[in-house]
């Protein structure tokens, strides 16, 4: 069942999402060669606590980190550890914050001194795919209009979208109905209505869309080990169009 939020609930979600966006942006500014992903996770824990929130990820189905940090061919759900970030890598930072009983979920991909033009294009395309998907999140549209817009943007650039992992509804729980694939034909699925809140998150691969999960049970890798980029916003469907709840503060 897709939960329709009241205006007051949307107001409360703005607060959780604002905090998630602030943590995301502070972490993105802090990424540097030589840092371990655990250092970023520790910083995230400090920031979330200072804001009066809690991590939506820590302990979720046994997940051991405060955030997810995925590097290069890691698509999503990378576990913070002692791995050091290196010059030329791309780092996906995925943040979930619970505040006031609601969840804010957002992600960005940071380029650490990247000079490879194809990798730069991958990251920019994924960010653009998110923007094009969000643009379709309007009252009366169909859910798959979002999916199709994301896929079309990625495919035009010569990339592929991950099919095994998808976006999702969000609110009092991190994962609510509906699931939001990043591919598909337009005009399918439920109609979007004012008050729906969606976590839209394209995961775009440089190579094939196939992925596999590592032995840790969490980290998702591209099957061909080519780079992948990931962006995410929590969005509310509104009367006047989509509202990005996790926009930069």
- Report pLDDT digits (tens) over 203-212: 999 999 999 9
Q: Give the mean pLDDT of 57-73.
A: 98
Assess whether pLDDT exceeds 70 at residue 17.
Answer: yes
Query: Is 246 domain-assigned?
Result: no
Alpha-carbon span 206 to 204, nearest angstrom: 7
Do the Cβ atoms of 244 and 233 come closer than 8 Å?
A: yes
Query: Is 49 domain-assigned?
Result: yes
Query: Is 248 domain-assigned?
Result: no
Band (249; pLDDT cuts 50, 70, 90)? low
Query: Is 245 domain-assigned?
Result: no
What's the pLDDT score for residue 248? 85
The CATH number of the domain where 226 resides is what?
A: 3.90.230.10
Q: How many domains does the chain have?
A: 1
pLDDT tens-digit readout, 122-168? 999 999 999 999 999 999 999 999 999 999 999 999 999 999 999 99
Q: Range of 190's domain?
A: 7-240
> Mean pLDDT score of the chain, rounded to an integer?
97
List all residues 6 or more positions away from 221 whose beta carbon is below 8 Å from its beta carbon.
Answer: 73, 74, 75, 211, 212, 213, 214
What's the pLDDT score for residue 45? 98
122: enclosing H helix or E strand: helix 117-135
What's the pLDDT score for residue 76? 98
pLDDT tens-digit readout, 72-111? 999 999 999 999 999 999 999 999 999 999 999 999 999 9
Radius of gyration of the chain (CA): 17
Query: Is 217 domain-assigned?
Result: yes
CB count within 10 Å of CB 136 equals 20
Whole-prediction pTM:
0.97
DSSP 27-67: HHHH--TT-BHHHHHHHHHHHHHHTT-EESSTTGGG--SSS
Query: Is 113 domain-assigned?
Result: yes
Query: Is 164 domain-assigned?
Result: yes
Assess whether pLDDT exceeds 70 at residue 46.
Answer: yes
Do the Cβ atoms of 95 and 105 come closer than 8 Å?
A: yes
What's the pLDDT score for residue 239? 85
Nearest CA among 231, 225, 75, 240 for reference residue 163: 75
Q: Give the mean pLDDT of 11-22.
A: 98
Query: Is 71 domain-assigned?
Result: yes
């Amino acid at each position: 069942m897709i939960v329709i939020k009241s205006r007051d609930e949307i107001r409360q979600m703005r607060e959780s999402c604002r905090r998630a966006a602030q943590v995301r942006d502070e972490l993105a500014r802090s990424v540097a060669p030589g840092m371990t992903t655990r250092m970023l996770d520790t910083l995230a824990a400090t920031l979330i606590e200072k804001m009066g929130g809690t991590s939506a990820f820590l302990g979720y189905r046994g997940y051991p980190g405060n955030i997810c940090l995925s590097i290069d061919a890691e698509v999503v759900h990378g576990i913070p550890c002692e791995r050091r970030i290196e010059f030329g890598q791309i780092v996906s930072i995925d943040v979930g914050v619970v505040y006031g009983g609601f969840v804010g979920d957002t992600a960005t991909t940071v380029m650490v001194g990247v000079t490879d033009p194809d990798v730069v294009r991958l990251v920019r395309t994924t960010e653009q795919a998110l923007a094009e998907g969000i643009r379709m999140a309007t009252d009366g549209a169909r859910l798959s209009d979002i999916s199709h817009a994301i896929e079309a943007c990625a495919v035009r650039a010569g990339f592929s979208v991950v099919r095994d992992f998808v976006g999702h509804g969000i609110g009092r729980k991190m994962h609510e109905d509906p699931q939001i694939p990043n591919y598909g034909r337009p005009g399918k699925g439920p109609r979007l209505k004012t008050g729906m809140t969606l976590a839209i998150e394209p995961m775009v691969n440089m190579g094939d869309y196939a992925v596999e999960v590592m032995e840790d049970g969490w980290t998702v890798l591209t099957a061909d080990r080519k780079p992948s980029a990931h962006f995410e916003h929590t969005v509310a469907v509104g009367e006047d169009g989509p509202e990005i709840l996790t926009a930069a503060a």
